[in-house]
Amino acid sequence: MSSGISRREMLSGAAALSALAPGRVLGANDRINFGCIGVGGMGTGHLSNLVKRAEEDNLRVVAVCDVYQKRVTRAVKMSNAAPYTDYRRLLENKEVDAVLIATPDHWHAKISIDAIEAGKHVYCEKPMTHTVEQALAVRDTVRRHKQVFQVGVQGTGNDLVWQARDAIHSGRIGKVTWAQGSYNRNSRICAFNGVSYTIDPAAGPGANGEDHIDWDMWLGHQFGLAQKIPYNPEHYFRFRKYWPYSGGVAADLLYHKLAPLLLSISGPNGEYPHRVNASGGLYIEKDGRDIPDVFMMTVDYPSEFSVFLVSALTNDATLPDRIYGKEGTLEIGKELQLRANGEFFPEFRQKNAGSTETHFTPEIRPDHKGNFMDAIRGKGTVNCNAELGAATMVAIKLAVESYRQNKTMLWDAKNERLAV
């Protein structure tokens, strides 16, 4: 499961950047200067959103970075920001208060740690990291510093998730014993091969000008993030299909489901798993990819509940997001619904104002980036912090390894590692 770089090495690798001046303290009315690291499909979407809301939210994008020159040029035209092809130079820019990281998964941890050590606040796209070791390293770095860290799981900002947390915490459905969720897709063009993953045949490390890609930097082999291999456009443009850079649908899609469920059941810091199993296979999309197109995972937790999650790229019908208690069932959809269950109608009524079914509508909350900026300005806390992000990542990565190794994965909570 190792990335090839230890937690100690991950942390010490940021030593040079830690010597940089600490980030400036921002007041409630101060402008936040952003740097965007990774401006491909997802990153360009984030950049566009930041530019559009610059005046309303008192922010400015002052720096952009990517290893593909064409993407850097496009980002500069959108934002009029300073261009970089090496994120380390961007982190040296003292104007930058916060960075938004939307690189391939295998880079999330190193850039996050380096940014925090450089005094920057961090919004990191999900999944939080690529490996268990990296997740713990990021979490430990956040614990040592005052920078704000947010994982890009928008579902954790859903007001209904927080209302579900309150309902469960107050015992309104009794003891929670299991939960379910799914994130499915179905399309004629194979998932992760679509418009956002179009291969540019002119681009590559041997190309000049706008078509140049710094392939060695993208791999990160010099930092132990991936093995050094010859340039492979499939790997670069469609990285989510390959294990060296991605956890497949588990990390890309089911991370969105598990983090909100953990927040609801275990609280804002989540909970680490006890036992993880996964199954599935590559049943239809046989295009040379590593990842399965049908993936199912079950996670058992020490506080005695289980979570069942499904991600299929072969049919987009979904399971509803439900949390099952001994006395009632909670469902999170367009509204929050609590229903009495089995023979426990009397207990449910007692805890739910005499009703056997209760509905709640969401209240307006800041969106995920707004929540991040509020936290930077000292107005509240982030929706998905490093603690919840790491707990979610451990379960997701153990599920990936359970599938790949065809075995049950057990977590050693005392030593924070895979049990042997």
Q: Which CATH number is 95's domain given? A: 3.40.50.720
Residue 385 phi, psi dihedral angles, 5° rounding: -85, 180
The letter for the amino acid at 184 is: N
Q: What is the pLDDT of residue 6?
A: 52
Question: At 279, is the pLDDT very low, low, confident or very high (cuts 50, 70, 90)?
Answer: very high
Host domain of residue 282: 157-189+246-363+396-418
Count of structural domains within the chain: 2
Do 28 and 130 fall into the same domain?
yes
Do 163 and 141 fall into the same domain?
no
Do 24 and 122 fall into the same domain?
yes
With beta carbons less than 8 A apart as the criterion, state whether 244 and 234 touch: no
Q: Tell me if 343 is assigned to some domain.
A: yes
Question: At 15, is the pLDDT very low, low, confident or very high (cuts 50, 70, 90)?
Answer: very low
**CATH, residue 301:** 3.30.360.10
Burial class (CB in 10 A: 0-12, 13-18, 19+), 21: exposed
Residue 413 phi, psi dihedral angles, 5° rounding: -65, -35
List, for residues 112-158, the tens digit of each pLDDT value.
999 999 999 999 999 999 999 999 999 999 999 989 999 999 999 99
Q: Tell me if 76 is assigned to some domain.
A: yes
Question: At 3, is the pLDDT very low, low, confident or very high (cuts 50, 70, 90)?
Answer: very low
Do 141 and 272 fall into the same domain?
no
Do 38 and 120 fall into the same domain?
yes
| pLDDT at residue 18 greater than cutoff 50 | no
Do 167 and 278 fall into the same domain?
yes
Question: At 4, is the pLDDT very low, low, confident or very high (cuts 50, 70, 90)?
Answer: very low
Instruction: Tell me which residue has tokens 């850097």.
Output: 72
Taking phi first (over 0 means left), then psi (-120 to 50 degrees means alpha), and beta for anything else, what does residue 267 get?
Answer: left
List, for residues 223-253, the tens digit of each pLDDT value.
999 999 999 999 999 999 999 999 999 999 9
Do 269 and 174 fall into the same domain?
yes
Lowest mean pLDDT, pick from 18-27, 211-220, 302-311, 327-336? 18-27
Rounded-to-integer distance, Cα 294 and Cα 287, Å: 15
Indicate the pTM of the whole model.
Answer: 0.94
347-360 residues labelled b (16+ CB within 10 A) or e (exposed) = bbeebbeeeeebeb
Do 135 and 262 fall into the same domain?
no
Rounded-to-integer distance, Cα 220 and Cα 358, Å: 51
Among 371, 373, 377, 393, which residue's Cα sits nearest to residue 139? 393
Question: At 26, is the pLDDT very low, low, confident or very high (cuts 50, 70, 90)?
Answer: confident
Q: What is the pLDDT of residue 299?
A: 98
Q: Tell me if 23 is assigned to some domain.
A: yes
| pLDDT at residue 82 greater than cutoff 50 | yes
Q: Around 290, how many Cα atoms within 13 Å sit in the side-chain half-sphere?
A: 18
With beta carbons less than 8 A apart as the criterion, state whether 17 and 118 touch: yes
What percent of the chain clears pLDDT 70, i.e. is strictly above it? 94
Q: What torsion do the CA atoms of 102, 105, 110, 114 make, to the nearest 10 degrees?
A: 10
Domain boundary pick from 147, 181, 212? 147
List, for residues 190-228, the tens digit of each pLDDT value.
889 988 899 999 999 999 999 999 999 999 999 999 999
Rounded-to-integer distance, Cα 179 and Cα 303, Å: 13
Average pLDDT over all residues of the chain: 94
List, for residues 262-275, the tens digit of each pLDDT value.
999 999 999 999 99
Q: Tell me if 292 is assigned to some domain.
A: yes
Among 324, 367, 380, 345, which residue's Cα sits nearest to residue 164? 324
Q: Tell me if 79 is assigned to some domain.
A: yes
Q: What is the pLDDT of residue 23?
A: 65
List, for residues 344-403, the tens digit of each pLDDT value.
999 999 999 999 999 999 999 999 999 999 999 999 999 999 999 999 999 999 999 999
Question: At 21, is the pLDDT very low, low, confident or very high (cuts 50, 70, 90)?
Answer: very low
